Amino acid sequence: MTTVYDFTVRDRKGNDVSLKDYQGKVLLIVNTATGCGFTPHYDPLEAMYKEFREEGFEILDFPCNQFANQAPGTEDEIHEFCTVKFGTEFPQFAKINVNGEDAEPLFAYLATEKPFAGFGKGLKNAALNKFAEMNNKAFGDKAYIKWNFTKFLIDREGKVVARFEPTTDMEDVRAAVAAELKK
């Protein structure tokens, strides 16, 4: 059976990193962007990281520019933005694609394990859904991720246990992380 530990990704300097390095930890894997309306999620993400990392929690940050060109910078520019503006300390990896033929295999796997189930109810969510559908038309059946700041919760065995769309309240994400850490 496949787990996230079967994947190797690149860090922001271009070095291979085996996700086996994170075995036994609870992970939150996130595709991010520096110019998105959800970029303020970096604040609660960093707060969670500080609160839970001593309990075996890691956040793995993968910048992506596939959604309205909201992460146009280089890896170094993105990293500087995140560390200066939000004080992020969690690992940030190379900028990737999460959709299409050249989608990062890790994200194709994550989205297959926990497919998109909607952004939720309300006018704002309906508007985001419409915009995401237009943006992701080019990717057809390989539109794995619908928008920036989609988060996947991984248990200590490397299995995907939850998917959170960017519209999910960050307190709900925090509660799910806390509950997973107690298992």
Query: What is the number of structural domains in the chain?
Result: 1
Bridge partners of 93, per DSSP, are 11
Range of the domain at 89: 4-182
| Structure tokens belonging to residue 59 | 């956040």
Question: What are phi and psi for residue 94, nearest 5 degrees?
Answer: -60, 150
Task: Please indicate whether residue 36 is annotated as part of the active site.
Answer: yes
Q: Which of 121, 99, 104 is nearest to 60 (CA)?
A: 104
Residues of the chain predicted below pLDDT 50: none
Q: What integer pLDDT is reported at residue 79 of this predicted model?
A: 94
Q: What integer pLDDT is reported at residue 124 of this predicted model?
A: 79
Q: What integer pLDDT is reported at residue 132 of this predicted model?
A: 87
What CATH code is carried by the domain that includes residue 57?
3.40.30.10
Q: What integer pLDDT is reported at residue 125 of this predicted model?
A: 82
Catalytic residue among 19, 27, 36, 154: 36
Q: Dump the DSSP string for 8-64.
A: EEEBTTS-EEEGGGGTTSEEEEEEE-TTSTTGGGHHHHHHHHHHHGGGTEEEEEEEB
| Structure tokens belonging to residue 65 | 């520019």
Q: What is the pLDDT of residues 108-154, one digit of tens each?
A: 999 999 999 989 888 778 888 888 888 888 888 888 999 999 999 99
